[in-house]
Structure formats: C-alpha cells, structure tokens
C-alpha cells in the first residue's frame, strides 16, 4: 500500500469541507467529548460516570410520579443501546443506587426503581452537571436558550 500525498491532497481539496473544523459532525464530536470529560470529572466524587448519571437521571425522571419505569423505555428515551443500558443498570445496581425486578405487566421486561442511595446520588449530581452545562454553554444552553432550541429542533427531525 503506498501513501500518495497528492491523492490525499486532491481528496481533501475536492471532496471534503477542507479542515476538520469545517465539519459540523467533527466539531459536535469534539464538543460532546469535552462535555462528557467535564461531567465525568465533576461526578467523580459522587462515584458516577456521565452515562451512569444519564441513566440514573432518566430512571428518576420517568419514575418521578411513582409509576413503574421499564428498562426499554429508558433506552428509547435516552437513545442508549439496550446492551449498554443493561451494563449501566448493572453498575448502578451494584452501587446500590437502583433496584431492578421483573415487570408485573410484561415478564420479558424489567422495571427500574431508584433506591434512597440513588436519589441521594442524583441530588448531589444534578447541580454538578448543571454547573458544567452552564460553564460550557452559557445562556445559549439554558432552558429556552438558542443553542438548546436549535439542538432540540435537529433532534426532533431525526
């Protein structure tokens, strides 16, 4: 296999958007990973990762009125692969933050419930994540902010 710099130069000159920072997908990728790293750092004292926090927060949000929360509904609402969600729930269960049981309405499904430890962790974690969000995105990322509105519009068209 030969490395043909002129072929690469031509490819990037004619087919791409030029530099990587001209591609929305690339910039989004970098911003998301920076956000994830900052959230991971902020949540380290609470013993949660970004994805564990997201899973815990989704389970808490969906169960806030005392209704059963089904694992597959968490996966759908968070756009989390079911196997990845299952691994996150196992980790949260091992930390004593959630309990899982077979659903009474569907024997194939599992219901998820936050424990008092999980609620306490969420109570500590939420302000930390909100702080990271405010630091990174300012007013544009707040409820009603222009960045959030634009992302919600893109998300709803998917």
Model confidence pLDDT, tens digit, residues 83-93? 999 999 999 99
pLDDT level of residue 1 (50, 70, 90 thresholds): very low
69-70 sheet: strands from edge to edge: 69-70, 110-114, 98-102
Model confidence pLDDT, tens digit, residues 30-74? 999 999 999 999 999 999 999 999 999 999 999 999 888 999 999
Q: Domain count of the chain?
A: 1
Model confidence pLDDT, tens digit, residues 93-135? 999 999 998 867 666 778 899 999 999 999 999 999 999 999 9
pTM: predicted TM-score of the whole model, two decimal places: 0.85
What does the alpha-carbon distance between residue 15 and residue 107 come to, in Å, rounded to a whole number?
Answer: 52
Q: The CATH number of the domain where 111 resides is what?
A: 1.10.10.10
Burial of 69 (0-12, 13-18, 19+ CB in 10 A): buried
- Domain with 112, as residue range(s), is 5-156
The DSSP secondary structure of 42-65, one letter per residue, reads HHGGGT--HHHHHHHHHHHHHTTT
């Amino acid at each position: 296999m030969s490395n043909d710099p002129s072929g690469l130069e031509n490819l990037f000159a004619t087919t791409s958007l030029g530099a990587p920072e001209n591609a929305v997908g690339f910039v989004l990728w970098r911003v998301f990973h920076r956000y994830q790293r900052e959230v991971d750092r902020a949540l380290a004292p609470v013993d949660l990762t970004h994805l564990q926090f997201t899973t815990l927060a989704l389970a808490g949000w969906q169960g806030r009125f005392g209704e059963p929360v089904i694992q597959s509904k968490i996966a759908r609402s968070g756009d989390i692969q079911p196997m990845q969600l299952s691994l996150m729930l196992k980790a949260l269960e091992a930390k004593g933050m959630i309990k899982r049981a077979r659903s009474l309405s569907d024997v194939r499904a599992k219901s998820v419930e936050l424990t008092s430890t999980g609620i306490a962790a969420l109570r500590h974690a939420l302000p930390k994540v909100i702080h990271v969000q405010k630091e990174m995105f300012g007013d544009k990322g707040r409820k009603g902010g222009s960045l959030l509105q634009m992302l919600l519009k893109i998300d709803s068209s998917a």
